Amino acid sequence: MVDQFINQWGKLDVFVWAVGQTSDTITRRITTEQWDNTIQTNLTGLFYCLQTLGPIFKTQQTGSVLIVSSLSSIQGTTGQTAYAASKGGVLSLTRQLALDYAKDKIRVVSVCPGAIDTPMLRIALGGTEQENEELVQDMGKSHPIGRIGLPEDLGNAVSFLCSDKASFITGEFLNVDGGFMALGAWAAGMESAGDE
């Protein structure tokens, strides 16, 4: 994949890792297969890609890597054992890669999206179109900004972090979550409960 890309375009300006798989199982019920598959997909695959890109970055001496993590990497989520562990590893790897690639002038950053209104989210909700719309609206009430995110909210943050305007930012992560983590999940739950 890397060889084909470099042959066609000559260099790699931005590499975005936007991979996420979850097992949706609590710790005592998760199988070894579910654990391994989630860790391999979300974390190990990233390591292999960036290890392969290392020589390209060394030659180029320019570029940026953006890794999509998750709020679950910062705060646990019920039923997300392997997912939270893999995305926590992604944040640790972000910091480590930023140090490893700094001498090659490569920046490495992460975003931690909150709830983003995508087809994947709506499918995960599992209801009818009307039921899912109501659930999305309810989710929005738990965010200080009053709604869940739109794909372009995340896209704009990614675009900024990959641009020259963020040339002095590396080894960091940005929550794109409508203030959800600033409020705190416990407080968000209490506030939404009090609004009913």
The pTM assigned to this predicted structure is 0.85
- Biggest distance spanned by C-alpha atoms of the chain: 58
Active-site residue among 17, 83, 101, 173? 83
Residue 99 confidence (pLDDT) above 90 = yes
For 152-184, the pLDDT digits (tens) are 999 999 999 999 999 999 999 999 999 998 886
| Position 110 in a domain | yes
CA-based nearest residue to 64, from 6, 107, 105, 95 = 107
With beta carbons less than 8 A apart as the criterion, state whether 57 and 14 touch.
Answer: no
| Position 136 in a domain | no
Q: How confident is the model at residue 192 (pLDDT cuts 50, 70, 90)?
A: very low
Instruction: Give me the chain's average pLDDT, please.
Output: 87
| Position 144 in a domain | no
For 110-119, the pLDDT digits (tens) are 999 989 998 8
Dihedral pair phi/psi, residue 69, rounded to 5°: -100, -135
Would you call 83 a catalytic residue per the annotation?
yes
In angstroms, the CA 157 to CA 95 distance is 19
| Position 93 in a domain | yes
| Position 145 in a domain | no
Residue 143 confidence (pLDDT) above 60 = yes
Mention every residue, 6+ apart, whose C-beta is less than 8 A from residue 89. 39, 42, 43
| Position 31 in a domain | yes
Residue 188 confidence (pLDDT) above 70 = no
| Position 133 in a domain | no
Residue 108 confidence (pLDDT) above 50 = yes
Count the domains in the chain: 1
Half-sphere exposure of 31 (CA within 13 A, CB side): 4
Residue 172 buriedness (CB in 10 A; 0-12 / 13-18 / 19+) = middle
CATH of the domain at 6: 3.40.50.720
In angstroms, the CA 74 to CA 180 distance is 12
CA-based nearest residue to 144, from 195, 94, 105 = 195
| Position 112 in a domain | yes
In which domain, by residue range, is 48 found?
2-116+150-182
